[in-house]
Amino acid sequence: MGLLPVSDALSTVLNAVTELKTEIVTLGEALGRVASADITARLTQPPFAASAMDGYAVRFDDIAGPLRVVGESQAGRSYDGILREGEAVRIFTGAPMVSGADTVIIQENVSRNGDLIVISDCKEKGSNIRAAGGDFKFDDVLIQTGTKLDARHIALLAAGNVADISVYKKPRVAILATGDELLEVGSKIGADKIVNSNVPMFMALIEENGGIPVNLGIARDTAQSIKDKIAMLKDVDIFVSIGGVSVGDYDIIQDILKQAGLKVSFWKVAMQPGKPLVFGDFNGIHYFGMPGNPSSSYVCFINFLLPAMSKMMGLGPCGLKENLAKLEHELKAGGSRVNYMRASYSENEKGEKSVTARLPQSSANLSPLANSNCLLVREIDAPPAKKGDFVKIILIE
């Protein structure tokens, strides 16, 4: 197979995945979840007309004369009488309005002597009253399908007395490392060995982006070890393997998976890093075979797995956070693959971005990836760029 353009690879992935089933969660569990139906208010808010200020409830027609204070309306405890001519009721913020009253005078505009008050200022009838239903009414749509719930949405739903919410299930993503050289973090690292850093990165990436990671550990570069690991795959929506998808003698996972039912949709994308990416269907599970170099697998995650997860979670095929930034240095012409350079942008006081990609670009290195805050995108055959030219960046922080 030749190299597939990035955009074709992305459409293949997005066409293959669909929204997951839904489940009911409590409001306390709803942070970060995506609403799978419009959510309506179970009550009217405020449920009653209420005072917006601390002061006195009066009849606007009476405000010229001294008024007699006949009672009090407190938040949570209303005044149960009816206000008559010449009367006022002491009232506080959030307290139910007093029947017969039509205006609240703020206490700063009132002088009080015993039971009598004199009003110094009130311009408008109806001042300082929150109307019943002024925020929302029973059965109004509070949250639309596809909204990712944050703290503000949760407050709104709580105010609407919505205790249970229908959300899309979280994608469950199995992650498998492959390689005879790999040991788990914290091991004694003998000669010829390195630490498995990709699985901890993917566990974090999946969790950070709303999925449930399932760690399958490390398979050795043998058919049996890989088979033993794939036998552990259950109840997952996505299977990600890392390493062993290139053309070396020990890059065997694709063949082993094919013997076990993998249907490959594409292998090799016109991108750098990340070229050897495999995508397909493994017995009903979406399969991503990521290359082992950490920056390569990261770039594959950002470009393909993240949009797939977004669609599965009901967020729609969310685009990447792209922006333009001014180059701080020259760049040579783009090559035959889209290059996602690890880069760092900063913003001046006007919010204008400038970017440098003068970081080591080896896909094996993690320090530049960890110290970058964007990927600078060099399109195929892009002409050489000068200092000051605008270039496309993908924000990754």
Answer yes or no: are the C-beta atoms of 254 and 278 closer than 8 Å. Answer: yes
Closest CB 305 distance from Mg ion, rounded Å: 19
**319 vs 300: CA distance, rounded Å:** 14
Measured in whole angstroms, how far is the alpha carbon of residue 143 from the centre of its chain?
Answer: 16
Segment 293 to 312, residues that bind ligand AMP, using CB under 6 A: 293-294
Segment 185 to 244, residues that bind ligand AMP, using CB under 6 A: 194, 196-199, 242-244
Answer for which of 55, 210, 211, 243 binds Mg ion (CB under 5 A) is 243
294 binds Mg ion (CB under 5 A): no
The dihedrals phi and psi of 89, each to the nearest 5 degrees, come to: -125, 130
Q: What is the CA radius of gyration of the chain?
A: 31
Tokens 């049996």 -> residue: 224
Record the tokens describing residue 199, joined without a space: 């699985």
**319 vs 309: CA distance, rounded Å:** 12
198 vs 310 by CB, closer to ligand AMP: 198
39 vs 182 by CB, closer to ligand AMP: 182
Query: Which residues sit opposite 121 in a β-bridge?
Result: none
Cis check: omega of the bond before 171, within 30 degrees of 0: no
157 vs 175 by CB, closer to ligand AMP: 175
> What does DSSP say about strands 285-290 and 322-327: parallel, antiparallel, or unpaired?
unpaired
Other Cβ atoms less than 10 A from the Cβ of 116: the count is: 13
Closest CB 295 distance from ligand AMP, rounded Å: 10
Question: What is the size of the binding site for ligand AMP (CB under 6 A)?
Answer: 19
276 binds Mg ion (CB under 5 A): no
Closest CB 200 distance from ligand AMP, rounded Å: 9
Segment 334 to 373, residues that bind ligand AMP, using CB under 6 A: 364
Answer for which of 63, 182, 313, 327 binds ligand AMP (CB under 6 A) is 182
Answer yes or no: are the C-beta atoms of 246 and 276 closer than 8 Å. Answer: yes
- x/- binding map, residues 116-155, to ligand AMP, per CB under 6 A? ----------------------------------------
Q: Which residues bind Mg ion (CB under 5 A)?
A: 179, 243-244
Q: Which residues bind ligand AMP (CB under 6 A)?
A: 177, 179, 181-182, 194, 196-199, 242-244, 246, 248, 291-294, 364
